[in-house]
Every structure is written in C-alpha cells, then in structure tokens.
Amino acid sequence: MPEAIRKVNVIGHLHPDTDSICSAIAYAYLKNQISDIEYEPRRAGAINRETAFALKKFGFEEPELITSVAPQIKDIEIVPLEGVGPETSLFSAWNLMRDKKTSTLCITDGDDGLLGLIAVKDVANANMDIFDTEVLSESKTLYANVIETLQGQMVAGDPDGAITTGRIRVGTTPEMMEGNIEKGDIVLVTNRYETQRFAVESGASCLIICNDAGVSSIVVEAAKNNDCAVITTPYDTYAAARLICMSIPVRAKMLHEENILRFSVNTSIDDAQKVMASSQHRFFPVMDESGRYIGVVSSPNMINVNKKHVILVDHNERSQAVSGLERAEIMEIIDHHRIGSIETAAPALFRNMPVGCTSTIIYDIFQENGVEIPANIAGIMLSAILSDTLAFRSPTCTPKDKFAGEQLAKIAGVDIDEYADAMFDAGADLTGRTAEDVFNSDFKVFSRGHARFGVGQGSFMTENSRKAAEALVGPYLKDAAAANEIPMVFYMFTDVKSQTTEMLYWGTDTEQIVARTFDVTPKDGIAVLPGIVSRKKQVIPPLMATLQDMETED
C-alpha cells in the first residue's frame, strides 16, 4: 500500500540565493492551490541580505530552516502513552502498566512537563523492601492513595491529608503492642476492640482495620479526639500489610527528569538508535517542539519509518542538497541548471529548462494550471528572476525570463529598474557582515571526474561596494575551502552595470586553471573577466572542461 503523504517540503539548495528561497515559497503556494496535500517552503541555510530585502518588501517571513531530510522521531509511530501524576500510587501505576502492556510510565505535571519515569523494576524493588517501615511517612503518602490501594473506606480523618510521621506496625494484642507502638505509627488491626482502642490511645496517627471488621463509635470518637485517621479494608492483615507499601506516590521511586534519556520529535532516527543501543531502557519519552511530553518510543517503533517527501527547486546536484536526501522521497525537481548527480528511488517529475531562473519555469506552471498569481508572490518571483539574470543583463537570460519578469512586475506593481537597483544595493551592503557570511551568500560546490571545486558569486552595482567585498572575502577563501572540504575555490565579484567580473581564487594550480580557462593573465591574485557575469553558463562549463583536460593530460 503506498505510503500516505502527510506534508511535502519544498527546498532549495545549500547557501540559498534569492531564486532558491523565492522559488520554494512560490512553488509551495502554487501546489497548495491545486492539491489537497500540504506543501511548505523550507530553506537549507541562512538567507543573504538581497533575499531578506525581497522577502521584507513583499511581506514574507523567511522559510523555516531544514538541514536534513533524514527520518526523525516524528516520522515513526509514537505510542501515545498517557503520563501519570506524581501522586499516583505505585499500585495504580502497576495496574496501568499491566493494562497498557508496558514496563514504563512517564510522570508528568499538569502541563505535560516531564517530571520523571518509573519502570516495573522500580515497583518490584519497592514491593520487596519489606524492612522499610517508614516508607509511607517519608514519601508523604496521601490517605487517598491508601484508601484506593486497600479498597478501603475512611471512617475518620481527612482523605485529602497525607501521612507525615510513623512506621507501619501490625497490632495483635495490647500485650504484644505495648512498647512497640509509638506516637504517629500506622497500625494494622482486626476486629478486637481492645487492640483498636489501645492503638489509638498509644498515639497512632492512622488505624487500618482489616477484614472489614466493625469499629465501635467509642473507638471512632477516641480516634477523632486523638487526631487519628481510621480506615477500614476488606483485605486481611497479611494482604493489607503487603499492599499498603504500594500506596506510596510514584514520585518517591521514579527516575528524576534530569537523569532521563529522552528524544525530541526532531531527533534523527540514527541518533535515537545509537542511544537505544547503549541503554538498558526499553521505552524512551518523546517531547514535542515545545518540550511537552507526548508519548514513548522503543526499538520496534524504529522499523516502520515514514520517509519525508520533498520537492527540490533550483538544484539537482547532490553536493548542493540538504543531508539525508537519499533517505527521502523526491517527488519533483524543478531546475534550470545542468543535470547533476541526484538519483531517485522511484520515478519523479523532473522539469529542467534552459532558462535564466527557476521562477521563470514556475511562472509557466502557474499559467498551465490557470492559477492566478497574487501580487506578493509575483514580487518574490520577479526578485528571483532579476537576481539570477542580473536584471536581464546575464547571457543566461532568455526571452522567456524577460517576458515573465515584465508580467510579474505588472502584477506586483513595481518599476523593474528602480526595484533591481534597490535589491542589488541591499545585497551588497557589508555593514556588520563577516567574510564567512558574505562568502556563503551564494556559493555552490561542483564536481567533474575526480575534481571537486566551489564557485561563489556576488553581484554589485558600484565599484566601491565590489572592492570592499573583495577585500573582505579574499583572505577567507582558504578557510572556506577547508570548511567545505574542497581543494579549490573560485569567487566571482560581478559588476552588474559594466558586466565585468573580477575573479579571486585559492588552491593548487588555481591561477593556472583560471588563466587557461579564460585566456587571461591574472594579476595580484585577481583575474579580470570582461563580459563574464554568469556562473552557470560562462564559468562552470569552461572550468569543468579545463579540469577534465588537465586530468586527461596527467
């Protein structure tokens, strides 16, 4: 039977640019209009300032971050085992474990906050500790627990009160009790009037009358005068003596919250299985995203895992995708780049078109489905197209991109030139930014044969902003290569208006590679590339060709 789809994450690539984020939002909106399934946009990294400007301009919050689509605890069956309160008796907990066929119960407060955990072995240990005669008073056991456990009735006393003093004693005769009963003790007796009266007058705090034996009004009155509670039970003395210790609250024997191994709904299945393998516990509490207890899981629950369902936009390279992709169900890929290395376990809709921007493809899909594009959605789609095509100046820009951009601008009610200048200026603002932040604003990793390399790009409207970015990012390229575990890094600083790129690079033979690829002579670690503005069309293909040639020569 096909796996039910609960939700589909629409995700762009790592180090997301404006197209990656805006296309995810726009496509999720479109899918929600034509499907009964819930689609949610996600981001695979921090958004850059250009994207933040576009989202703010058109009234969008940035999508929720997702770093992995590997299965999580939320993707398996969580057993909705109800928590019990801390005053619940061990006897009630034992019965509940038996009825629920579980060996563990979670102790919670009134707001489902986790307080502790109690297991069958804890109840068994408490039951076997027959020499702990002060267990009721030490645990401040409620009389209500005693009444429930012994199936008794309170003849005198406050059922909402608690036992705070004394030991558990069995009273047989006044002669045997003399010297053994102390003030505050809990005394189990039968039907003998003398024994009952003696226990009360000896200062007992609670009298447990077994076998449903009668109790005279004289004893009851004496008990009230001496502040002694009186409870009758149908159990005989032996059974009552064994059971009464089981009336103590679970909080007295529970494993406390700070020592409990637990999982969040967002814990990965892999991490959970590692914890389970190193623990002797069978059941583990699960907390929701607010830290509230919602149920338990055990090893058998890990067998049937519901895969996450995803749609990838603006990429189809494995190195650019979130982790765990091989364990997710890829439903669709909407992209405008070269066909890369992502494989799917089952057939998926793959729409790849030679246009300048993913949002251009999405514009076509809106038209094909007859779905009206709202002004705010049009605005972010326009932002993506302007960003990827450098305001229609990039050689990757096609007539379809320009037509879609112009139509979207009309719907959004913005002037293309004015808005493009403002958006690019926002993206170039370096105030308060680190080299790492600027570098990762738009950076992708590629591979060809045995070669792996990364290419980043920043677009600038003025020479001053471009030079400032070069001075900030240049010294960071070595660290960036180490952080991404690649031997070569190239970074494009593109002047939008002059349509010129100054390329900085780091790594073995990178200067030779740049010189050979673009037929230029770099100076002071910078290669000036007139007319080069497109990473996808003008940089990646020739770089890959050069690397392949050099590999063949070697």
- Distance of alpha carbon 178 from alpha carbon 332, whole angstroms: 85
Q: What are residue 456's DSSP bridge partners? A: 443, 491
Q: What is the share, in percent, of the chain residues with pLDDT greater than 70?
A: 99
The domain that contains 319 carries what CATH number?
3.90.1640.10
Question: What pLDDT does residue 303 have?
Answer: 85
| Tokens 């969008």 belong to residue | 60
pLDDT in tens, 309-355: 999 999 999 889 999 999 999 999 999 998 988 888 889 999 999 99
Same domain for 153 and 230?
yes
Q: Which whole number is the average pLDDT over 451-469? A: 90
Torsion of CA 483, 486, 492, 493, to 10 degrees: 20
Residue 275 vs residue 551, higher pLDDT? 275
Q: Which of 58-62, 118-122, 477-481 has the lowest mean pLDDT?
A: 118-122
Number of structural domains (the chain) is: 4
pLDDT bracket for residue 1 (50, 70, 90): very low
Residue 131 lies in a domain: no
Residue 134 lies in a domain: no
pLDDT in tens, 154-167: 999 999 999 999 89
How many helices (H) and strands (E) the chain has is answered by: 20, 22
Same domain for 22 and 109?
no
Q: Which whole number is the average pLDDT over 19-35? A: 97
The domain that contains 241 carries what CATH number?
3.40.1390.20
Same domain for 346 and 419?
yes
Same domain for 448 and 536?
yes
- Distance of alpha carbon 529 from alpha carbon 499, whole angstroms: 9
Question: In residues, how long is the chain?
Answer: 554
Same domain for 313 and 421?
yes
* 265 Rama class: left (phi>0) / alpha (psi -120 to 50) / beta: alpha
Asked if residues 297 and 276 have their Cβ atoms less than 8 Å apart, the reply is: no
pLDDT bracket for residue 301 (50, 70, 90): confident
Final residue belonging to a domain, choices 302, 324, 341: 302
The domain that contains 473 carries what CATH number?
3.10.310.20
pLDDT in tens, 90-105: 999 999 999 988 889 9
Final residue belonging to a domain, choices 302, 319, 336: 302
Question: What pLDDT does residue 3 have?
Answer: 57
Same domain for 512 and 442?
yes
Amino acid, single-letter form, for residue 400: K
Residue 544 lies in a domain: yes
Residue 496 lies in a domain: yes
Same domain for 441 and 526?
yes
Question: How high does pLDDT run on average in the chain?
Answer: 92
Residue 1 lies in a domain: no
Final residue belonging to a domain, choices 201, 220, 247: 247
Same domain for 450 and 475?
yes
Same domain for 41 and 15?
yes
Range of the domain at 498: 435-553
Question: What pLDDT does residue 2 have?
Answer: 46
The domain that contains 117 carries what CATH number?
3.10.580.10
Residue 132 lies in a domain: no
Residue 503 vs residue 181, higher pLDDT? 503
Same domain for 60 and 116?
no
Query: Does pLDDT of 376 surpass 80?
Result: yes
pLDDT bracket for residue 181 (50, 70, 90): confident
Same domain for 121 and 265?
yes
Residue 277 vs residue 383, higher pLDDT? 383
pLDDT bracket for residue 179 (50, 70, 90): confident
Exposure string over 191-203, b if 16+ CB within 10 A, otherwise e: eeeebbbbbbbbb
Amino acid, single-letter form, for residue 239: A
Question: What pLDDT does residue 532 have?
Answer: 94
Query: Does pLDDT of 384 surpass 70?
Result: yes
Same domain for 440 and 488?
yes
Residue 150 lies in a domain: yes
Amino acid, single-letter form, for residue 367: Q
